[in-house]
Amino acid sequence: MSAPIRLDGKVAIVTGAGRSLGRAYALALGTAGAAVVVNDIDAESAGQTVDDIRAAGGRATAVIAPVGPTPTADALVAAAVDEFGRLDILVANAGVLRDRVLWKMSDDDFDLVIATHLRGSFTCGRAAATRMREQGDGGRIILIGSPAGQFGSFGQTNYATAKAGLVAMARTWSLELARAGITANAVIPTALSPMTATIPKYTQVYEDYLAGTPIPVTYRRDNALGTPEDVASLIVWLASDASADVTGQAIGIGGDRLTLYAHPSALRALNHDDGWAPEDIDAAWHDDLAAQAQPSGPAKD
């Protein structure tokens, strides 16, 4: 057996850590030895996460504020430094859903999801990176993507757009922060949660899970669907020194499945003397490129 992955002496921020996946991330980081700044907009749930970390012998404090605004990001970093002396890990997890098909999605539906997921990760990431660079000891930034961002998702223009952007954000930061020894990666979780419970094929599985029924093996393997704690293992590893050479990656985990996602790449490229007329494009598409085209949405198992 390999030696246990430990985070002793490290300090982490986890946004959206009052419930579900964020709570599991915070508890796992605390169990592994990190001090944790627990962020949520719900004081009671954030306080419960803090209490549970402390009850297990860990250190934690809470910051109650919505992510997105710069003052929240600054307050989170200040809490880490004031309470625990430093900052080593950011897990930008906070998120909301406002699902609507395109023609029914309001400006507010779109803006709230983008502000929480994308802007919230940006402001927190910027504040965290600034502090980590000042410390000079490297660091770990972990953004939370989604299969919706990898493949698209019906009724989730706002959410899928934000999650796709987060993967590009992590890859960009991996380039910008490499010299400082700061890694940036995106985790693509698939786990039972209030969000996945809204998907009809998972509703009953979620209800059974809450009632104490184990998740069927077929869901854990074929659908990569497990518990929040299954995902938290990847968070702990990416936060650790063991992953120091891993950056700019999108890594999925859920149930029994661990997935490394590909970077976008060109499938095929054609040249045409003096450029392309519409008729030339039409011929190239039907004669060549159409055979290379990928289907919309995830591949079918």
Catalytic residue annotation: 146, 159, 163
User: Tokens representing 123?
Assistant: 């402001």
Task: Specify whether the CB–CB gap between 226 and 254 falls below 8 A.
Answer: yes
Task: Specify whether the CB–CB gap between 40 and 20 falls below 8 A.
Answer: no
Task: Specify whether the CB–CB gap between 213 and 204 falls below 8 A.
Answer: no
Q: Which residue blocks in 56-210 are alpha helix, DSSP H?
A: 70-84, 107-113, 120-135, 147-151, 157-176, 200-210
| Cα 118 from Cα 108, distance rounded (Å) | 15
Return left, alpha or beta for 244; rule: phi > 0 is left, psi -120 to 50 is alpha, else beta.
alpha
Closest CA to 151 of 140, 142, 159, 143: 159
Task: Specify whether the CB–CB gap between 87 and 81 falls below 8 A.
Answer: yes
User: Tokens representing 197?
Assistant: 């419970």
